[in-house]
Amino acid sequence: MTYVIGKECIDVQDKSCIDVCPVDCIYEGGRKTYINPNECIDCGACELACPEVAIFPARKARGNPEWEMFTADQAAFFTQVLPGRDAPLGDPGGAGGFGSLGVDGPLVAGWGRD
């Protein structure tokens, strides 16, 4: 199981979650952050640290169309080729060496701006 970052993070990116993640599995996109589902250890520190209440456990997404959509989008962020990249990000073992990737998947890239 993993945690997922939802729409409340879009264009906010407080990054408190990044500061508390013990395994460095939260990657910075262009408009929001993403938790690598294969690197997350399910500790929940990110959920508690998020002032936007944007983070939820993936297991709770079932039956909630919006949460299911963001769960799928988060997985796709790591498995699909993102704009400007030659290959999927995959599971590089930590976000620290990347800084901001500056791009998002189609769901977030196309999300309306407030």
pLDDT tens digits for 3-31? 999 999 999 988 999 999 999 999 999 99
Q: Return the sign of the alpha-carbon dihedral for residues 45, 46, 51, 57.
A: negative
CATH of the domain spanning 3-93: 3.30.70.20
Residue 106 has φ and ψ, to the nearest 5°, of -60, -40
Name the residue ranges covered by the structural domains of the chain: 3-93
Higher pLDDT among residues 98 and 9, named by residue = 9
How far apart CA 96 and CA 29 sit, in angstroms, is 13
The pLDDT value recorded for residue 114 is 63
Tell me if 14 sits within 8 A of 50, measured CB to CB.
yes
pLDDT tens digits for 61-76? 999 999 999 999 999 9
Tell me if 92 sits within 8 A of 24, measured CB to CB.
no
Residue 4 has φ and ψ, to the nearest 5°, of -130, 145
Average pLDDT over residues 34-54: 96
